[in-house]
Amino acid sequence: MADLLSKEKNPTIHLASSALEQIAAHMVSSPATEVCGVLLGKKAAGGMHIHSYHGLRNVAPDPLHHFSFAPEEWIPYCFQNNNLIGIFHSHPLTAPIPSITDTEQLPEFASMISAYLIGSPAPLSEKYLASTERAESAQGIELVNIHPPITNSQPCAIPISTTSSCAIHSICDISSLPELYIGSYQVARRSSSFSNIDAQQPMSYALLPAILHIG
């Protein structure tokens, strides 16, 4: 996990093509609700490397707008799997930008992960951008140069924005979902010194935009 005052410039998340297929298949299996799961991999030179995705049941009361891991499926990854590097969930109707609810529940698992991915089949139109404007502002994400997905013979990830705040990527040519947008983020602490943190106060975290590399 990074610290906001010592974060990497343009951190990179490397996502294996097979893990991308697993994510897309999970989204296809339940297109009307948020799906969620864990990302397994490791941190190494050059960024975070994700080699596989395991879907978990979403037991949130309102799964169209929220996600909550089934405890019996989530807890084993917390205590028995040292390959846990991140989490994923989908936004069926809105762009892959962290919502207010996403940031509010981040402290529940932020201390255990470094990568945070959000998937969406929704094009980044003005309609969807307007619906997530508050979350975008809260995260300090600047979306510019919006483009539709391109077509190619190989899976690819294309930054929507060419600025350092780039986080939204357009994915194309995967077998289970022809159009997919991924928001890629690095989990970071908001303080650089544990000595300045009141032990009785919850740790504060943020999601920083990250570059996504597929393959």
- Nearest residue to 95 (alpha-carbon basis) of 167, 189, 197, 178: 167
Q: Model-level pTM?
A: 0.77
Residue 201 is predicted with a pLDDT of: 53
Residues of the chain falling short of pLDDT 50: 4-6, 125-165, 192-197, 199
Residue 127 is predicted with a pLDDT of: 45
Q: Give yes or no for a contact between 91 and 168, defined as CB atoms under 8 angstroms apart.
A: no
d(CA 78, CA 72): 11
Contacts of 107 (CB under 8 A, 6+ apart): 202, 203, 204, 205
Residue 19 is predicted with a pLDDT of: 95
